[in-house]
Structure 1
Amino acid sequence: MLEQRRFAYHFLGGTADAVETALAAYRNEDDGYGHALEPDLRGPVSQPLHAGHALRVLDSIGRCGGQRVERVCRYLTSVSTLDGALPAIRPSQRGYPTAPFVPVVDDPPSDLLATGPVVGLLHRNEVWHAWLFRATDFCWQAVESLRKSHPYEVEAAVAFLDSAPDRPRAEAAADRLGRMVREQRLAVLDPERLDASPVSPGYGPGEHHFPYDFARTPGSLARAWFTDEEMARSLDFLAAEQRKDGGWPIRWRQWAPGTALECRPMVTIEALRTLKAYGRAIA
């Protein structure tokens, strides 16, 4: 239901109220979100990754502010690590089905993948909350210390840098990351030569990442990492990936049929939003 409402909002003139009402079904009494909002984490319990997902939805409909976000920030504060950042997953997930690539541990560390996108979108929406101070410091330290990375981590860094308040510092960090992405071959620059492109260690077969994965909009700092031709090729590839049923496939490891089915509408909406952001025609 949530993805139907999101699709209607972005492409059919639907309302933000309808999206927010559908999202509210996933909210818990602790002001977090659960109930498999992020399909790879089953069960009702709140998790930081669910909260990040909810904030991205609110951001996409212009509702990332006010009391609704104040409540989420209270939840983020309650689950933060000692250095003020977010873990990917908390021990409360134990006992519920969980993707094997998201391990449940007793004392989870701070995680840039969980923290960076949340901090970035809160800054973009000019949210003020005490939680942001230490979380922002963590993101700066994590991003500026990256020497060897993988695509998902770099994408989380970009989500932070695109909206970090210190723009000169963000631009310098992004420039260094862009060189690293090219040196370590983290992005497929020619989709016609996929077989010659390496997949990062720990990723599934075919789990490649493309320029559009790093630069979701033309205004992203990551857009400068790629030539016009490289970006155009990646967008052509993205458009051609649409399946006969109208949706896009998921590229990460599938561990259960149900979760793969739930993820496809999410991937489809993001593919369409990316193509639209770059001025591509949406059939």
Structure 2
Amino acid sequence: MMLTKTGWDAARSFLISYARPLEQKLFTYHFENGTKEDAVEELTSFQNDDGGFGNSIEPDFRLGESSPMATTVGLQIAKDLQLTKDHPMVVKAMSYLEAAYDDQMEIWHAVPPTVNDVPHAPWWHFDRAKGFCGVQTTWANPNAEIVGYYHLYQQENPNLKKWTHKALIELTKLPHPIEKHDFLCYSRLLESITDNENAQHDIHLSLSRSLHETVCKDPARWNEYVAKPLEFAPCPSSPFHDYLKKEAELQLDAEINCQHEEGYWQPAWSWFGQYKETWKKAENEWRGILTLSMLRSLDAYGKIDK
């Protein structure tokens, strides 16, 4: 099955008309000869003076100030744009993460307590008694991903060996099967840790053992908030593509069928009635993010009728 020209046109029209300027510039960069500089300029608008990212770059928490979690979102895009370690945006972001590290707890806190003062999804609520938000139930998220950015951008950091060892130890502590977001954080570390073959081997082996139980392979449930194949194999060059080749193809066909008539792909979650007006804005931002992501996967798998 292919995404038809009608489907493509609808998706493009939605992105150009309703997505955030960031997704608009990323779309034109990836598909219409837009410039990397324009995309970077839009990404920069989410970066604060301290080098961290905030300003609702992750639409589910509307925090202006920087947080390690929002900074990982910014660095995901910076990595995708192939920014180098000496790019000012990257240098500032890594400097922020260095300052944000909690030496005593050996952790980056996903979000600060002030997230409670702004509209946010329930899972981002900061539990002051526990000292972390609902998302941060293990060390993995976002810490494993952050260690990956040090391997990618700052291999000379004197703490990197210690942090990598910590990541490998924490990986052995994760429940089996590994939870979706924990898996994705370690997968991002795996993709970045090209300078340590032993660690790369251990991470790949551990993730591979969990993959088929972590991923939901039931198409009837793919409209729910589950771990879907394309999240783990968004393109044929993904580390786990060979394990999920059949499932990825099935999901691509399913996604083509469930594209909204207005062109977007809909998030499979909501804020459960909280902050209703803000959720409407966040929901639309997610539609833009998910639509761009889906178009890129469809394109990577050769599923767009051009």
Tell me the TM-score range normalised by the shorter chain: 0.7 to 0.9
Q: Quote the residue 1:251 is aligned against.
A: 268
CA distance in 1, matches of 2:80, 2:155: 15
Q: Quote the residue 2:287 is aligned against.
A: 264
Give deviations 1:163-210, integer Å, cap 9, x for gaps.
22333442343233233232xx3322241x43xx8xxxxxxx811222
CA offset at residue 248 of structure 1? Answer: 1.2
The percent identity for this pair of structures is 23
Q: What code does the residue aligned with 1:91 have?
A: P
Q: What code does the residue aligned with 1:235 have?
A: L
Unaligned segments of structure 1, at least 5 residues:
198-204
- Aligned in 2, Cα 1:249/1:113: closer, same or farther, shift over 3 Å? same
Q: What are the residue-to-residue correspondences of 1:107-146 with 2, within 5 Å?
A: 107-108=131-132, 111-124=139-152, 128-130=156-158, 132-146=160-174
Q: Give the secondary structure class of the aligned counterpart of 2:256.
A: helix
Q: Give the secondary structure class of the aligned counterpart of 1:221.
A: coil
CA offset at residue 55 of structure 1? Answer: 1.0
TM-score normalised by structure 1 residue count = 0.84
Q: Give the secondary structure class of the aligned counterpart of 2:123.
A: coil
- Aligned in 2, Cα 1:141/1:250: closer, same or farther, shift over 3 Å? same
Q: What code does the residue aligned with 2:110 have?
A: A
Instruction: Output the aligned Cα RMSD.
Output: 2.6
Q: Quote the residue 1:71 is aligned against.
A: 92
CA distance in 1, matches of 2:237, 2:201: 12
Q: Give the secondary structure class of the aligned counterpart of 1:162.
A: helix
The match for 1:38 among 33, 52, 58 is: 58
Q: Quote the residue 2:188 is aligned against.
A: 159
CA distance in 1, matches of 2:157, 2:114: 25
CA contact (8 A) 2:72 2:145 kept: yes
CA distance in 2, matches of 1:24, 1:90: 21
Q: What code does the residue aligned with 1:209 have?
A: A
CA contact (8 A) 1:211 1:234 kept: yes
- Aligned in 2, Cα 1:131/1:251: closer, same or farther, shift over 3 Å? farther
CA distance in 2, matches of 1:248, 1:189: 19
Give deviations 1:225-251, integer Å, cap 9, x for gaps.
33x323321222233332222221112
Give deviations 1:245-270, integer Å, cap 9, x for gaps.
22211123345222111111111112
- Aligned in 2, Cα 1:221/1:61: closer, same or farther, shift over 3 Å? closer
- Aligned in 2, Cα 1:223/1:35: closer, same or farther, shift over 3 Å? same
- Aligned in 2, Cα 1:104/1:214: closer, same or farther, shift over 3 Å? same
Q: What code does the residue aligned with 2:233 have?
A: A
Q: What code does the residue aligned with 1:87 have?
A: H
CA offset at residue 157 of structure 1? Answer: 1.5
Query: How many corresponding residue pairs?
Result: 270
TM-score normalised by structure 2 residue count = 0.78
Q: Quote the residue 1:242 is aligned against.
A: 259
CA distance in 1, matches of 2:140, 2:260: 32
Q: What are the residue-to-residue correspondences of 1:181-192 with 2, within 5 Å?
A: 181-182=211-212, 185-191=213-219
The match for 1:180 among 210, 214, 222 is: 210
CA contact (8 A) 1:188 1:210 kept: yes
- Aligned in 2, Cα 1:180/1:60: closer, same or farther, shift over 3 Å? closer
The match for 1:219 among 230, 237, 245 is: 237
CA contact (8 A) 1:84 1:134 kept: no
Unaligned segments of structure 2, at least 5 residues:
1-20, 273-278
CA distance in 1, matches of 2:27, 2:268: 21
Q: Quote the residue 2:116 is aligned against.
A: 94
Q: Give the secondary structure class of the aligned counterpart of 2:265.
A: coil
Q: Quote the residue 1:231 is aligned against.
A: 248
CA distance in 2, matches of 1:275, 1:132: 36
CA offset at residue 131 of structure 1? Answer: 5.7
CA offset at residue 123 of structure 1? Answer: 3.0
CA distance in 2, matches of 1:113, 1:249: 24
